[in-house]
């Protein structure tokens, strides 16, 4: 595998789901349909906000696109791969090269400092040349306003600082796709505003963003808003002012 990240052919979607479903069956229990036939096509450079009530399937959808979970039926393509065809090892590398993921809950590795968390992401993928990694980690932390926290363990940071560190880590390998699950959920309004600006800069750089959010300031900036209800897409609206 080459170390470069995927560039789609002109006009081809960067993310595509075809009738993807996800069901959970607890041992001895009834099957729960978390996603019911999701079809979605996301061109490169798009900025999608995913809305929906708690339990509507937002995180489940992100997990499928990130290859962290496999669909029960249907297909998921992202950054040039049909995810079900990749082994776990290949999937981890594919993810490292192509995806920045900001999780809803799980964040940083607790035994590594903030900057080590970011360096580890770069070391694992090998996309950023080794001599450039330290400076890049510093630049990313500076961008999220955490340069002075680099040597601390995550547990010594506030929730909002950890969230920003997780955003810096998600960008470590300069991924073409950024997936984020409530990235401003733990932030005060000022820091949330800075994160919204940061995401906007990513769009200007040509990144593709798919963000689950309740934050109206963030959703307002999106090019396209999809609404999930009970595991189905019930609205998919592209804004008139879209730059995509």
Ligand X SMILES: Nc1ncnc2c1ncn2[C@@H]1O[C@H](COP(=O)(O)OP(=O)(O)OP(=O)(O)O)[C@@H](O)[C@H]1O
The footprint of Mg ion (CB under 5 A) covers: 58-59, 104
Instruction: Specify the residue, 57 or 71, whose C-beta has the smaller distance to Mg ion.
Output: 57
Nearest distance from residue 60's CB to Mg ion, in Å?
Answer: 8
Nearest distance from residue 144's CB to ligand X, in Å?
Answer: 23
Q: Which residues of 51-72 are buried (b: 16+ CB within 10 A; e: fewer)?
A: bbeeebbbbbbbbbbbbbbebb
Q: 60 contacts which partner out of Mg ion, ligand X, none, CB within 5 to 8 A by kind?
A: ligand X
Nearest distance from residue 181's CB to Mg ion, in Å?
Answer: 6
Q: 32 contacts which partner out of ligand X, Mg ion, none, CB within 5 to 8 A by kind?
A: ligand X
Binding footprint of ligand X on the chain (CB under 6 A): 24, 32, 34, 52, 54-60, 104
Nearest distance from residue 56's CB to ligand X, in Å?
Answer: 4
Q: 10 contacts which partner out of Mg ion, ligand X, none, CB within 5 to 8 A by kind?
A: none
């Amino acid at each position: 595998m080459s170390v470069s990240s995927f560039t789609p052919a002109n006009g081809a979607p960067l993310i595509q789901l075809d009738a993807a479903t996800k069901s959970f069956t607890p041992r001895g229990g009834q099957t729960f349909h978390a996603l019911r036939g999701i079809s979605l096509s996301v061109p490169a450079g798009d900025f999608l906000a995913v809305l929906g009530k708690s339990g509507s399937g937002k995180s489940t959808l992100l997990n499928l696109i990130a290859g962290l979970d496999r669909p029960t039926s249907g297909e998921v393509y992202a950054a040039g791969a049909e995810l079900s065809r990749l082994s776990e090892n290949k999937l981890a590398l594919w993810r490292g090269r192509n995806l920045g993921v900001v999780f809803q809950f799980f964040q940083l590795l607790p035994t590594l400092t903030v900057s080590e968390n970011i360096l580890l992401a770069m070391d694992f993928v090998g996309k950023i040349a080794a001599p450039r990694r330290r400076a890049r980690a510093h630049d990313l932390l500076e961008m999220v306003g955490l340069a002075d926290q680099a040597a601390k363990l995550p547990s010594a940071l506030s929730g909002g600082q950890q969230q920003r560190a997780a955003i810096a880590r998600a960008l470590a390998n300069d991924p073409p796709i950024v997936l984020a699950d409530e990235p401003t959920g733990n932030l005060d309004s000022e820091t949330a505003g800075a994160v919204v600006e940061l995401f906007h800069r990513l769009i200007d750089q040509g990144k593709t963003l798919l963000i689950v959010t309740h934050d109206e300031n963030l959703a307002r900036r999106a090019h396209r808003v999809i609404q999930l209800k009970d595991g189905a897409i019930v609205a998919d609206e592209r804004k008139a002012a879209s730059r995509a």
